[in-house]
Amino acid sequence: MWKVAISQLTTHPRRYVAVVVAIVLGTLFLAAALLVTSSAKETTKHMLGATYANADLLIVAELGAYFDSDSAFYDLVGTADAPGSLERIPGVTEVYPLTNTPATMVLPEDSTQRGTFGPNADFVHLTSRPADASLLSAPFVDGALPEAHDEVTIDAATADRHEVSVADTLTIRSLTDDTETDFTVSGIFDNSMNPTVVGAVTGYVTPETLTQLADGSQSADMALLRVDGDLDQVLAEVQQAIDSAGLPLTVNTPDVQISEQLVDMMGFDAITVVLGGFSAIALLVMTLVIHNTFSVLVAQRTRQYALQRVLGATRGQIRKSVLTEAVLIGLIGSVVGIALAIGLMVALLRLAQTWIPGATFGMDASIVWVVVIGVVMTVAASWLPAAQATRVSPVAAMRPVPEVTAKSSTGAVRLVLGAVLILAGGAALVHFSLRGMVGPAIFAGALSFLGVLALGVLFVPGAVYALGWLPRLTGTPGKMAQLNAVRNRSRTAATAAALIIGTTLVTLILTGGRTVQHNTDELLATNYPVDIYVELSGVAATDEQDVSATTERLAATSGISSAEALAPVASIDEPWAASGTIFAGDPNELATISDGIADDEARALQTPGTVLVPATHTADTVTIRTADEQAVTLEAIRSELDSVTPVVSPQTAEAYDLQAAGAPVVWLAVDSRDMTQSELQELVTTMIAEAGVSAQDVNSPLMQRAVYQQAINAVMLTVIGLLSISVVIAFVGVANTLSLSTLERTRENSLMRALGLTRGGLRSMLIWEAILISAIGAILGSALGMLYGWAGSVAIFAEISPDGVEMSWPWLETAVVVLIAVSAGLLASLAPSRRAAKLSPVQGLATV
């Protein structure tokens, strides 16, 4: 039977085109989903983990912990003078402490720029260089890391700003004693995506040079490790050594650290959860598409199998023949699908890099499993229909296949099975979604969707017939198209299944993606409520004129919409108050700047004797201490957020004689929060130069928010690319089933032509039939997609949003999806209808 199978492939290659295309698109979809997952993680790693993305392991201090030169931290990680104890662990080839110190760079004499630290100096964030340059995630544009102690590397933005090249000389001034030292530029590296160095020059020097410039003021909170051995074993031994030293440190891989950052920020690992579920859906879609196409093809060959059995072939031999065909075309289709997926992802990411510079291609070994899955799914999709065909006796197989109805035995089984899957799967989907159990919810949704497809043969033809009033208005071809929908129910359901699958997936991703993006924006806004804040370290809080003048200069920067100064007026001892400081500022102005203060909270704060506290504070009052250590009890205005800056109004400060003491802080809002990281960095640099504040006093939560948002946008952009694939899958699925059903109906169509139906009438009938089926498939798929999108959104945000998820329904996009699906059905019907109309009635009736 191997010869028979191979001869079938070589003799009738066109017969297998539809199946190969389905396999190619199915594996392309699954492979692209895996590549989206790996690329999204790689992109996120290079954005959020710009400092440590290339390390094998990293040692991270607990939040807020920094280690100075005298800390035992350096006994572990080493110093410029001596290696640490961790390098003695087998498999550790380098331990690189990210030791850094602030400094200033004297501007070149011919520079036309104003410095970010002073009129003639930029603030510099200097870091010691690693021995292994591959530990740095930012690639070099020119040159290399410094080898000599009088060499420095700088970022590309600084080099462009001051027109500095490799081998030029720069002067670095120490902040500890104002000593100036000349350095030769040894290299220029690409701009870092690290949001913590916004507005500052970033550079690398040798560890010895850094120690000299720091003069004891250097600090570190992280160390990178290069490992040449068993990663898990090394990680365990490093963690054991850290625990023995009693330091507040943990050891992670970059991927784990990124996941933990996402969890800390959003309450869940968005990349793994969302794209893991997306890959599971892709697998289901691939299976259904291949099965649907192969079922039609195998069912069409039932008579051929029967003839082979009449001539002496056994059931086992026929199964082997089908298995051989499936393995060969499954292998071919899977390899082609993976190749196309890789090419598509590379193209999409190159396009994405226009808007998202950090978009990075990623691929892991799991892509190989797509070939295995493609072959297995193809074999399964062909085996089951072939097994059903071989169970029919040769004589019975020569007869027409009976229709599947609710009264037939097959229809009864489908009715019971489909009803059980829909009811049980739907109930489980709602149950798991409301409890935030994403994995079980996906599985339950898949079961309910299988139930819908199982019952499709029973309700899809009726739905098509109900919509058939529209083509009936066009005359006889329209009436015949409506009747065909219920006359061959299996064919109608099979054709609609392709579009139900495609539009369900598209609408699911549109609904879930839109909702997740909307709610993620809200989460980012609450985690990073102020765009930019500047600590006025050189201005006395009591000098109202100087504070006001500096605030006005900051607000006058192009790109800044508003600014408000806050004065530290009291202290507080509460676990939720990170800084332990109470600030005074105009609540109404602060509400326009910060998402952390709502309008009703601002109005409540106007009442003297009130203070803003986070939602976690349960008491109705708060006790604060004034500058002279007097205790004052204020009424708590509870915010909707879990983390806010404690603020009082000027009226409260005056009523309780709360005097300003310490450095004031200015909150700033930008014109547009859609700025890219580079645009925001340029704005901050300009603001520092024009307002005359120090870069080390500027912090931009919006920069960190922008990095997260860019990572999410990168994911959404690649997902949108996958949506285009699902539309193509649906189009090909409709084209396949229409083409095969037209071939199956060759004699029937020719008989209608012989009875007087014109060529135009036959074309109109087939086109209307395709439009009706496509419209019903798209409408049902869109409804299902919105339902599954709601369930997925609820599951994702159930644990992290106590007030529930705020849905964002894509009504306009869904209408476009339905229109595209109907257009796809129309286009898919053109070629089959043209072929059917060209065939003469005599030739058609002579077809066996």
pLDDT score recorded for residue 50: 63
Q: Answer whether 415's CB lies under 8 Å from 455's CB.
A: yes
Sign, CA dihedral 309-313-314-319, equals: negative
> Is pLDDT at 3 greater than 70 in this prediction?
no
* Domain ranges, residue 208: 55-254
The answer to the question of residue 172 being in a domain is: yes
The answer to the question of residue 397 being in a domain is: no
Q: Which of these ranges, 153-157, 282-286, 563-567, has the smallest mean pLDDT?
A: 282-286
The answer to the question of residue 306 being in a domain is: no
pLDDT band at 34 (very low <50, low <70, confident <90, very high): confident
The answer to the question of residue 428 being in a domain is: no
Most confident among 155-169, 215-229, 396-410 (mean pLDDT): 155-169
pLDDT score recorded for residue 516: 72
Say whether both 492 and 595 belong to one domain.
no
pLDDT score recorded for residue 406: 46
Of 672, 689, 711, the one marking the end of a domain is 672
pLDDT score recorded for residue 300: 60
Say whether both 465 and 610 belong to one domain.
no
Say whether both 542 and 491 belong to one domain.
no
Q: What would the pLDDT profile of 547-557 be if each residue is shown by its tens digit?
A: 888 888 888 88
pLDDT score recorded for residue 659: 84
Judged by DSSP in three states, 638 sits in strand
Say whether both 750 and 778 belong to one domain.
yes
pLDDT score recorded for residue 401: 46
Of 233, 254, 275, the one marking the end of a domain is 254
Say whether both 135 and 196 belong to one domain.
yes
pLDDT band at 822 (very low <50, low <70, confident <90, very high): confident
- State the total domains in the chain: 3
Q: What average pLDDT does this structure show over 253-267?
A: 66
The answer to the question of residue 778 being in a domain is: yes
696 or 593, which is more confident:
593
Q: What average pLDDT does this structure show over 265-271?
A: 50
> Is pLDDT at 404 greater than 50 in this prediction?
no
pLDDT score recorded for residue 571: 86
Most confident among 398-402, 471-475, 726-730 (mean pLDDT): 471-475
> Is pLDDT at 398 greater than 60 in this prediction?
no
Q: What average pLDDT does this structure show over 642-648?
A: 83
Say whether both 141 and 186 belong to one domain.
yes
In the chain, the N- to C-terminal Cα span, in Å, equals 24
pLDDT band at 397 (very low <50, low <70, confident <90, very high): very low
> Is pLDDT at 752 greater than 50 in this prediction?
yes
pLDDT score recorded for residue 730: 61
Say whether both 514 and 575 belong to one domain.
no
Max Cα–Cα distance, the chain, nearest Å: 107
> Is pLDDT at 279 greater than 60 in this prediction?
no
Say whether both 119 and 226 belong to one domain.
yes
Say whether both 633 and 762 belong to one domain.
no
Say whether both 609 and 734 belong to one domain.
no
Q: What is the mean pLDDT of the chain?
A: 77
The answer to the question of residue 231 being in a domain is: yes
Of 199, 222, 254, the one marking the end of a domain is 254
46 or 124, which is more confident:
124
Contacts of 439 (CB under 8 A, 6+ apart): 277
* DSSP per-residue letters across 379-427: HHHHHHHHHHHHHS-HHHHTSPPPP--TTSHHHHHHHHHHHHHHHHHHH
> Is pLDDT at 569 greater than 60 in this prediction?
yes
736 or 278, which is more confident:
736
Q: What would the pLDDT profile of 571-580 be if each residue is shown by its tens digit?
A: 888 877 767 8
The answer to the question of residue 315 being in a domain is: no
Alpha carbon distance 762, 65 (integer Å): 78
Q: Read off the amino acid at residue 462.
A: G
pLDDT band at 63 (very low <50, low <70, confident <90, very high): low
Question: pLDDT over 70 for what percent of the chain?
Answer: 72
Structure tokens at 50: 């710009």
Say whether both 157 and 239 belong to one domain.
yes
pLDDT score recorded for residue 791: 85
Alpha carbon distance 44, 28 (integer Å): 23
The answer to the question of residue 221 being in a domain is: yes
Question: pLDDT over 90 for what percent of the chain?
Answer: 2
> Is pLDDT at 625 greater than 50 in this prediction?
yes
For β-strands 631-638 and 621-625, DSSP reports them as antiparallel
Say whether both 619 and 587 belong to one domain.
yes
